[in-house]
Amino acid sequence: MRERLIIVGGLALFLLLFAYPVLRAAVYHTQTSAPQLRLTSQGSTCVAPTDYMRTSHMRLLSQWRTDVVRHGDRRFVAFNGKVYDKSLTRTCLGCHNKQQFCDRCHAYSGVSGPHCWSCHNDPQAATAKVMP
């Protein structure tokens, strides 16, 4: 009888663990939708199409990093012929707010990002410390 109890208990535990996401979502009334991201400045175009940026922005940034640091190449000619400065802080953060844009989506997707921000600055967040 004792063995039965253990077995049934084990099965129940397994079920509970397996259903953890469902239970958690039910208890906390989780919203399924991804965060609605807003830009700080509207109207200007991004350096690449949205679909591309959504899936491959890290690859673009990595390429920029290599270009700028290793090759001193700072000009980025975009798909539409516009020229941008290859800079996370100056170019990307001109339109995208780190906290409102980058962080929210990364937090939602559980992508613990590379440690970009331990060196690269977020001008909006660091206003207190930023030079005039």
Phi, psi at 118, each rounded to 5°: -75, -15
The verdict on 48 binding another protein (CB under 8 A) reads yes
- What's the token pair of residue 8? 């049934």
Q: Which of 9, 13, 38, 58 binds another protein (CB under 8 A)?
A: 58
* Contact set for another protein, span 4-43 (CB under 8 A): 4, 7-8, 10-11, 14-15, 18, 20-22, 24-26, 30-34
Q: Virtual CA dihedral for 57, 60, 66, 72, nearest 10 degrees? A: -120
79 binds another protein (CB under 8 A): yes
Beta carbon of residue 12, minimum distance to another protein (angstroms, whole number): 10
Burial (0-12, 13-18, 19+ Cβ within 10 Å), 44: exposed
Of the candidates 126, 120, 16, which has an alpha carbon nearest to the alpha carbon of residue 68? 120
Q: Using CB under 8 A, which of 3, 27, 43, 83 touches another protein? A: 3
Is there a contact between 64 and 73 (Cβ–Cβ < 8 Å)? no
- Site for another protein, rule CB under 8 A: 3-4, 7-8, 10-11, 14-15, 18, 20-22, 24-26, 30-34, 48-49, 51-52, 54-56, 58-60, 62-63, 65, 69-70, 72, 74, 77, 79, 89-90, 105, 107-115, 118-123, 126, 129-131
